[in-house]
C-alpha cells in the first residue's frame, strides 16, 4: 500500500510537471507574447502595430529564426502577406533601410516613412537562414547549400502560421533582393511542390526579386559589359578584365554553380581600376551604386548605405532588443553574418534560374533592376531573360517597353509576358527601395493587383509606347520630340488612323454635350474604369491574376509623412493594445 501511495504521488507530480511545461510551451506560441507594445524612439503621435520575436525551428540544436511582422495600415478586401528576405547570404537590413515604415534618425528617434510596403499589405521580415540578423543556433544548424534553404524556411513558416493562423490563407508574395534571388525561387519551389504533395497548402501568388543573383552564366560576364558601357575600365585593367572574362567563360563551360571563383576576379579588377587617392584615403566606386565614389578601398560599398551605423546603434540597444522579444540571442546584431556566408562556400546547387520555367507555369514573377548597380546589374538580368525559355517560348516575344511614370517623372520601363514581368528602374542602386521608395511601392501594389488610383497618394501611370534606352547608360532619357518622332516615321496609314481617331473623339465629345450632363458624367466614369483596367493589365500581361483587383476606402493625399501614417488609425482597431 505504501509503495502504491508513493507511486501515486510520483505520478501526480509528473503530471503536474508536464502540465506546467505544456503551459510554458503554449505561452511561447501565443501571438500575444510576440506583440510589440512599445518601440524606443517612436513618436508619440505615431503607432505601429507589429509582432516580433524568435520561433523555435529545431529543439535539439536550439535553433531560432527571428521575424518582425508589420501589420497593414489599411485593410484590403483580399488580404496580402509580403514576406521580405534580404541576401548576403546572411544579411538583413530591409526594415529600416528599404521597405519598412520607419527610418532611424541620428539621435536614435524614429521617423515615419511614406513609401513602406505595409500601407495595404502585411509585411513579414524574416532573418533567415539561421544565423542571420537576430536568428541563431546554439549548435551547427547552419544551411550549407541552396537546396537546404526551403527545408529550414518551411519549418519556420509552419510554426509561424501555427502562432498566427489568421494569415495562413492570405495571398502570399515572396520578395527580396540580391542573394534572395537564390533563396526565393528555391523556397517557392518547395512551397509549390508541397502544395501538391500534402494537405498543408499556402496561397503563394507571386515572386518579386530586385537586382537578384539568379543566373551566374549570364550575370558574371555582364560585369565586363556593364563596366565598358559605363567607362569603368581602361588601359591595363581593361586588358586584364578581358583575360579574366575568357577564363570565366571557360569555367562556366565546365560547371555552372551559384558562385564561380574564376569569375569573381572580374569585379575585383573593375573596383581596383576605380581606385583614387583623395587626401590620405584610397577611394573607389561603390559596387552597389556606381554614382558613389566615397567609400574607401577595398571596401568599395561594403560600408554603404551610410546610415548603417545609426541602424547598428539602434538594433544593439538593450531596450530595443527587449521590446522586439529578441533577447534569446546573446550576440549583438550585425547586418551581415559572415558565419552564414562561409557555410555556402563550395555550394554546388544548381542556379535558381533552373527553377524558373516550372515556377512560371504556376505563378507570376517580377524581376526589377536598379540601373546604377554593378554587382547584380540590369544587363545581366536582361541577358538572362533573353536566354530563358518558359511557357513555350524563349525570351520576350514582344519587346515593347511600357513607359512608367511616378509623380510625373519617368521611373523606368516595363516588359511583361507569359507570367514574367521585368522592370528596369532608372536612377536606382542595388537597393532600389532605398533610392526610389514611392516607385517600388507603386510597382509592388500594381504587381499584386491593387488599384493604384485608390491606394496611392501620388500620381502614377503606365503608357503603352515604344521606348529604346539601350544606348543610354547614364539614365538621360529621350525628350518629348524624340518620342513623337516614332509617330512621324510610322507612315501614311498611321497618320490617317490618327486623324480619323481625332475626328471620332471630337464627334463623341460633341454628341456627349447634346446628350446632357447626366449622360456625359456616366460616359466619363466608364472611361476612367477602362483606363484603370488597361494599366493594371499592362503591368501583368497574360497572368491569371491580372483581373483580381481589390477595392479600398479613403485615398486622400497628405504631404506630411507622420500624418500619412496616422490618417486611418482611428479606423484601425487593435484588440491587443493595452
User: Which pLDDT value is given to residue 90?
Assistant: 83
- Active-site hit among 325, 413, 430, 452: 430
- 520/394 same-domain check: no
> Half-sphere exposure of residue 173, counting CA atoms within 13 Å on the CB side?
25
- 424/532 same-domain check: no
Q: Which of 133, 94, 110 is nearest to 39 (CA)?
A: 110
* Three-state secondary structure readout of 111-134: EECCCCCCCCCEEEEEECCCCCCC
- 521/558 same-domain check: no
Tally of CB atoms within 10 A around 317: 14
Q: Which of 478, 471, 482, 460 is nearest to 539 (CA)?
A: 460
User: Which pLDDT value is given to residue 122?
Assistant: 96
- 334/425 same-domain check: yes
Please state, in angstroms and rounded to a whole number, the distance separating the CA atoms of residues 128 and 144.
13
- Asked if the structure places residue 482 within a domain, the reply is no
**C-beta separation of 71 from 116 below 8 A:** no
Residues in the chain: 578
Give the torsion through C-alpha atoms of 426, 432, 438, 444, to 10 deg: 100
- 460/496 same-domain check: no
Residues sharing a CB contact under 8 Å with residue 286, sequence separation 6 or more, in sequence order: 292, 293, 294, 295, 300, 301, 304, 429
Is the bond preceding 331 in cis, omega lying within 30 degrees of 0?
no
**C-beta separation of 55 from 69 below 8 A:** no
Tell me the three state secondary structure of residue 223. Answer: helix
- Asked if the structure places residue 485 within a domain, the reply is no
- Asked if the structure places residue 176 within a domain, the reply is yes
Tell me the three state secondary structure of residue 165. Answer: helix
User: Which pLDDT value is given to residue 506?
Assistant: 47
- Active-site hit among 116, 178, 352, 460: 178
- 140/20 same-domain check: no
- 408/501 same-domain check: no
Tell me the three state secondary structure of residue 253. Answer: helix
Query: Buried (b) or exposed (e) across 332-362, using 16+ Cβ within 10 A?
Result: ebbbbbebbbebbeebebebbbebbeebbee
Please state, in angstroms and rounded to a whole number, the distance separating the CA atoms of residues 432 and 373.
9
**Beta pairing partners, 102:** 112
**C-beta separation of 390 from 380 below 8 A:** no
Give the torsion through C-alpha atoms of 225, 229, 232, 234, to 10 deg: 80
- Going through 442-560 in order, the beta strands assigned E by DSSP cover 460-463
Please state, in angstroms and rounded to a whole number, the distance separating the CA atoms of residues 562 and 415.
35
Q: Is the dihedral of CA 56, 62, 63, 65 positive or negative?
A: positive
Q: Which of 547, 511, 545 is nearest to 529 (CA)?
A: 547
Please state, in angstroms and rounded to a whole number, the distance separating the CA atoms of residues 187 and 283.
38
Give the torsion through C-alpha atoms of 277, 281, 282, 288, to 10 deg: -120
Tally of CB atoms within 10 A around 557: 9
In the residue annotation, 373 being an active-site residue is answered as yes
User: Which pLDDT value is given to residue 41?
Assistant: 93
Residue 228: all three cell numbers together:
565598358
Instruction: Give the structural domain span for 372.
Output: 35-473+548-578
Is the bond preceding 305 in cis, omega lying within 30 degrees of 0?
yes
**Beta pairing partners, 35:** 51
- Asked if the structure places residue 478 within a domain, the reply is no
Task: Catalogue the long-range contacts made by 193-201 (C-beta closer than 8 Å, 24 or more residues apart).
Answer: 194/154, 200/158
The residue written with cell numbers 553574418 in the block is 337
DSSP state of 34: G
The residue written with cell numbers 536598379 in the block is 370
Please state, in angstroms and rounded to a whole number, the distance separating the CA atoms of residues 367 and 57.
30
Global pTM? 0.78
Q: What is the DSSP string of 458-524?
A: S-EEEE------TT-TT-----HHHHHHHHHTS-HHHHHHHHHHHHHHHHHHHHHHHH-HHHHHHHH
Residue 297: all three cell numbers together:
578601398
DSSP state of 339: H
User: Which pLDDT value is given to residue 87?
Assistant: 87
- 20/90 same-domain check: no
Q: What is the DSSP string of 212-242?
A: ----HHHHHHHHHHHHHHTT---HHHHHHHH
Please state, in angstroms and rounded to a whole number, the distance separating the CA atoms of residues 564 and 556.
9
- Asked if the structure places residue 285 within a domain, the reply is yes
Please state, in angstroms and rounded to a whole number, the distance separating the CA atoms of residues 34 and 326.
10
- Active-site hit among 93, 170, 373, 550: 373
For the chain, how many structural domains are there in total?
3
- 250/323 same-domain check: yes
Q: Which of 126, 119, 83, 84 is nearest to 101 (CA)?
A: 119
- 344/211 same-domain check: yes
Residue 148: all three cell numbers together:
537546404
**Beta pairing partners, 174:** 83, 207
- 370/502 same-domain check: no
**C-beta separation of 421 from 447 below 8 A:** yes
- Asked if the structure places residue 174 within a domain, the reply is yes
Are β-strands 393-394 and 50-58 bridged in parallel, bridged antiparallel, or unpaired?
A: unpaired
Task: Return the CATH number at 246.
Answer: 3.40.50.1820
pLDDT tens for each residue of the chain, 578 residues long: 444 555 554 555 555 555 444 444 444 479 999 999 999 999 887 778 999 999 999 999 999 999 999 999 988 778 999 999 998 888 888 899 999 999 999 999 999 888 999 999 999 999 999 899 999 998 888 888 999 999 999 999 999 999 999 999 999 999 999 999 999 999 999 999 999 998 889 999 999 999 999 999 999 999 999 999 999 999 999 999 999 999 999 999 998 899 999 999 999 999 999 999 988 899 999 999 999 999 999 999 999 999 999 999 999 999 999 999 999 999 999 888 888 888 888 888 999 999 999 999 999 999 999 999 999 999 999 999 999 999 999 999 998 899 999 999 999 999 999 999 999 999 999 999 999 999 999 999 999 998 877 777 888 999 875 434 443 434 333 333 333 233 233 333 433 444 455 455 545 444 444 344 333 333 333 332 333 333 334 454 333 333 332 322 223 334 444 444 444 333 333 334 33
- Asked if the structure places residue 480 within a domain, the reply is no
Largest CA distance in the chain: 110
- Asked if the structure places residue 481 within a domain, the reply is no
- 517/436 same-domain check: no
Please state, in angstroms and rounded to a whole number, the distance separating the CA atoms of residues 235 and 233.
7
Please state, in angstroms and rounded to a whole number, the distance separating the CA atoms of residues 53 and 30.
11
Amino acid at each position: 500500500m505504501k509503495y502504491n501511495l508513493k507511486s501515486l504521488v510520483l505520478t501526480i507530480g509528473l503530471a503536474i510537471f508536464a502540465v506546467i511545461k505544456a503551459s510554458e510551451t503554449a505561452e511561447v506560441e501565443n501571438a500575444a507574447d510576440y506583440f510589440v507594445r512599445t518601440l524606443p524612439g517612436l513618436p508619440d503621435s505615431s503607432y505601429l502595430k507589429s509582432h516580433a520575436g524568435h520561433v523555435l525551428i529545431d529543439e535539439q540544436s536550439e535553433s531560432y529564426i527571428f521575424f518582425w511582422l508589420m501589420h497593414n495600415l489599411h485593410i484590403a478586401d483580399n488580404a496580402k502577406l509580403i514576406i521580405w528576405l534580404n541576401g548576403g547570404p546572411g544579411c538583413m537590413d530591409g526594415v529600416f533601410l528599404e521597405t519598412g515604415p520607419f527610418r532611424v534618425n541620428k539621435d536614435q528617434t524614429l521617423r515615419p516613412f511614406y513609401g513602406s510596403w505595409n500601407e495595404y499589405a502585411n509585411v513579414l521580415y524574416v532573418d533567415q537562414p539561421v544565423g542571420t540578423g537576430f536568428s541563431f543556433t546554439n549548435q551547427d544548424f547552419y544551411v550549407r547549400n541552396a537546396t537546404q534553404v526551403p527545408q529550414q524556411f518551411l519549418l519556420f513558416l509552419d510554426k509561424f502560421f501555427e502562432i498566427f493562423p489568421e494569415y495562413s490563407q492570405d495571398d502570399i508574395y515572396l520578395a527580396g533582393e540580391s542573394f534572395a534571388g537564390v533563396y526565393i525561387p528555391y523556397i517557392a519551389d518547395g512551397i509549390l511542390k508541397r502544395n501538391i504533395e500534402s494537405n498543408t497548402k499556402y496561397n503563394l501568388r507571386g515572386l518579386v526579386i530586385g537586382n537578384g543573383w539568379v543566373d551566374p552564366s549570364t550575370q558574371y560576364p555582364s560585369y565586363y559589359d556593364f563596366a565598358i558601357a559605363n567607362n569603368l575600365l581602361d588601359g591595363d585593367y581593361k586588358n586584364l578584365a578581358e583575360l579574366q572574362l575568357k577564363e570565366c567563360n571557360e569555367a562556366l563551360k565546365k560547371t555552372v554553380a551559384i558562385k564561380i571563383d574564376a569569375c569573381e576576379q572580374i569585379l575585383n579588377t573593375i573596383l581596383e581600376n576605380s581606385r583614387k587617392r583623395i587626401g590620405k584615403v584610397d577611394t573607389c566606386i561603390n559596387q552597389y551604386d556606381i554614382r558613389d565614389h566615397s567609400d574607401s578601398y577595398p571596401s568599395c560599398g561594403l560600408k554603404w548605405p551610410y546610415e548603417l551605423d545609426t541602424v547598428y546603434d539602434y538594433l544593439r540597444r538593450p531596450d530595443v532588443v527587449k521590446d522586439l522579444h529578441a533577447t534569446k540571442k546573446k550576440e549583438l546584431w550585425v547586418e551581415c553574418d559572415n558565419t552564414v556566408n562561409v557555410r555556402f562556400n563550395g555550394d554546388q546547387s544548381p542556379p535558381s534560374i533552373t527553377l524558373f520555367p516550372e515556377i512560371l507555369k504556376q505563378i507570376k514573377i517580377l524581376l526589377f533592376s536598379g540601373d546604377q548597380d554593378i554587382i547584380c546589374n540590369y544587363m545581366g538580368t536582361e541577358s538572362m531573360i533573353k536566354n530563358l525559355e518558359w511557357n513555350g517560348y524563349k525570351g520576350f516575344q514582344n519587346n515593347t517597353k511600357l513607359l512608367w511614370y511616378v509623380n510625373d517623372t519617368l521611373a523606368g520601363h516595363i516588359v511583361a509576358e507569359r507570367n514574367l514581368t521585368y522592370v528596369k528602374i532608372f536612377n536606382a542602386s542595388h537597393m532600389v527601395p532605398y533610392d526610389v521608395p514611392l516607385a517600388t511601392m507603386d510597382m509592388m501594389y500594381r504587381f499584386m493587383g491593387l488599384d493604384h488610383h485608390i491606394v496611392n497618394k501620388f500620381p502614377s501611370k503606365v503608357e503603352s509606347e515604344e521606348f529604346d534606352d539601350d544606348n543610354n547608360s547614364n539614365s538621360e532619357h529621350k525628350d518629348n520630340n524624340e518620342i513623337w518622332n516614332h509617330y512621324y516615321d510610322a507612315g501614311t496609314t498611321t497618320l490617317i488612323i490618327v486623324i480619323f481617331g481625332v475626328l471620332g473623339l471630337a464627334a463623341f465629345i460633341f454628341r456627349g454635350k447634346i446628350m446632357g450632363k447626366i449622360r456625359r458624367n456616366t460616359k466619363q466614369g466608364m472611361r476612367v474604369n477602362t483606363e484603370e483596367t488597361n494599366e493594371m493589365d499592362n503591368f501583368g500581361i497574360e497572368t491569371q491574376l491580372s483581373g483580381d483587383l481589390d477595392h479600398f476606402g479613403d485615398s486622400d493625399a497628405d504631404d506630411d509623412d507622420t500624418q500619412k501614417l496616422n490618417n486611418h488609425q482611428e479606423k484601425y482597431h487593435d484588440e491587443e493594445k493595452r
